[in-house]
Structure 1
């Protein structure tokens, strides 16, 4: 059958960039409480131990609560609800918000067709809460998180978010404020200078390394640089907006580039390759895609161990996962030799 296409062009999205030290704070809290991923992050595990030792016992207790209920997600959601030029303005805004608005901001956006259900859940309607939980039942933590946000005492949540925000800001952000803000600003300025030379989709791929195709109800991509979660991209979705907290480029970490400091992608790539089990996984994935269960059976080692290795391969952008199946990114694997050559030739 022949088809006549009368569409003038394919729909796409617009892009926007912004940065804030408060997003760095929120992502730092998320990374700290995501214990299973510490081995994949650029910062060594000792970095997180040092922070723990510097935090007060009160803040440590509240961060354990964050780990249990994933309240870092609530913090990030609230940071997107308005523009805040300081932590104090954010705290003041949080404390004047009515209960239903706090719940509405904190509940995850899972698609336009669920927005009315999300609104009803923010008013503690049990049927809506159950429906919202069911609509994302396969997500790692959303169902339990939705139940928590829908039922928690809002004064308890506000006090909790205030303690972890002020505690993290004082311990981690303030001593490094000038350095953090300078590197975030450098990265945004560098990327904005290149914006006009790309289409929106090309620009998103250049900044994040992700080939993000337009999808229904998403009209804008928001790009936010972050340092603490390198080398990971962290993704979330807001109404009409896809958000990528992307790792800032190596050259923007320091004002003066050290020619002897290897690029992050090179470092993580060869670290991922330096293990017998991970090389076996790579070889298996060059043959076909596998689920975690299938890889566990094939390798005859514990599932938690396989997951540990896959996390390192994903951090190195050698492996990706889609609908619970892992596959190889052969272009990124093949480019490691080229990255090594460029590093060796760096002046």
Structure 2
């Protein structure tokens, strides 16, 4: 599964895992997905579905989505949703209306690390110099530098009106007509994940739940928050809160329909397909003992490089083998978790 990074990298430590879901998250992530023009063609949404979404939107709503695309205000929506567990759209809108200028801008600016907090606080008090410092810290990020400048300059009533209008417009046009279906998908996936949470170590669970994201502990991160989404499939989106790493992850194929309990996890299928070949089993045996290069595998197996590379590609896709500067090595955790994954699928 692919991963979009919207956070700052940090070092490693232990963590717990929590799973949350709601139609408000689905709404905000839908807005994020549909305004990401570079990725929209890669979404699981068909051209027909994208056309139906476009037809459902008013002229005013389309203007608000253009504003989202220009200023990345989908990030503001997600930041707000992390402040409390909102019951519904009404409570979300009421919360936004009640925020002061400093409070809303404080919510909108994401956590950028402990070292950046002093500049963040100064920015909230109107410091242009603090904005420059934060822009320097985020200069390599795809959008945070310009997003911070937008939040610093935007009139608060303009931002509030936009946030309420775009969230309400999307929810009413796209979420409400399919409310029952979307609620069922998100709940099925959340329930499935929660049933399996105690069967894995946290990093193994995150990799399984996100269909391949490998996330080891970092200092100061004590929790990983997983939030399922449907419309942004197949992408996972990563973000940071203070003390928390967030993955907005794509719901599994088996969660999309009620009959999905009979549909195996895609990665589970890939792994067993990868194992169902004598040459690939030999490669696993060889990489178990030591990291080996493509050349060494070619010589040992007495096969052409193209053939060996094909087998390695399948093993890498199944996350059974990883590649480093030292060559190819087996992913022990993936092998060790296979019996558990199969057992959980058969018993779920």
Q: Give the structure-2-normalised TM-score.
A: 0.72
State how far apart, in whole Å, the 2-side matches of 1:71 and 1:247 are.
21
Query: Would the alpha carbon gap of residues 46 and 251 (structure 1) be closer, same or farther in structure 2, given more than 3 Å must change?
Result: same
Distance in 1, matches of 2:329 and 2:175, equals 35
Match of 1:212 among 211, 215, 227: 215
User: Which fold has the larger relative contact order, with Cα–Cα distance below 8 Å and residues 6 or more apart in sequence?
Assistant: 2
Q: How many residues align?
A: 276
Residue correspondence of structure 1 range 171-320 to structure 2 within 5 A: 171-208=173-210, 209-257=212-260
Distance change (3 Å), C-alpha of 1:117 and 1:57 = same
The residue that corresponds to 1:299 in the other structure is: none
Structure with bigger gyration radius: 2
Does residue 110 of the first structure (1) align with residue 104 of the second (2)?
A: no
Alignment equivalent of 1:53, drawn from 52, 55, 66: 55
Q: Distance in 1 between matches of 2:230 and 2:68?
A: 21
Q: By how many angstroms is 1:239 displaced?
A: 0.7
TM-score using structure 1 length: 0.72
Over 3 Å counting, the alpha-carbon distance change for 1:162 and 1:264 in structure 2 is farther
Q: Which runs of 5+ in 1 are unaligned?
A: 1-9, 269-285, 288-315, 320-327, 336-341, 343-347
Residue from 22, 27, 30 that aligns with 2:29:
27
Alpha-carbon distance between aligned partners in 2 of 1:29 and 1:182, rounded to the nearest angstrom: 20
Pair 1:42-2:41 in alignment: no
1:101 pairs with 2:131: no
Assess if the C-alpha contact under 8 Å between 2:13 and 2:221 holds in 1: no
Whole-Å separation in 1 of the counterparts to 2:213 and 2:120: 29
2:259 aligned counterpart, secondary structure: coil
Contact 1:223 1:245 survives alignment (8 Å): yes
CA shift for structure 1 position 257: 3.4
Would the aligned equivalents of 2:120 and 2:134 in 1 still touch at CA under 8 Å? yes
**After TM superposition, which residue ranges in structure 1, 4 or more long, deviate above 4 angstroms?**
261-268, 316-319, 328-331
Q: Secondary structure at the match of 2:141?
A: coil
Q: Give the secondary-structure state (helix, strand or coil) at the position aligned to 1:59.
A: helix
* Contact map agreement 1:112 1:217 (CA 8 A) in 2: no
Structure 1 residue aligned with 2:89, among 78, 82, 87? 87
User: Could you tell me how far 1:267 is from its partner in structure 2?
Assistant: 12
Backbone CA RMSD of aligned residues: 3.2
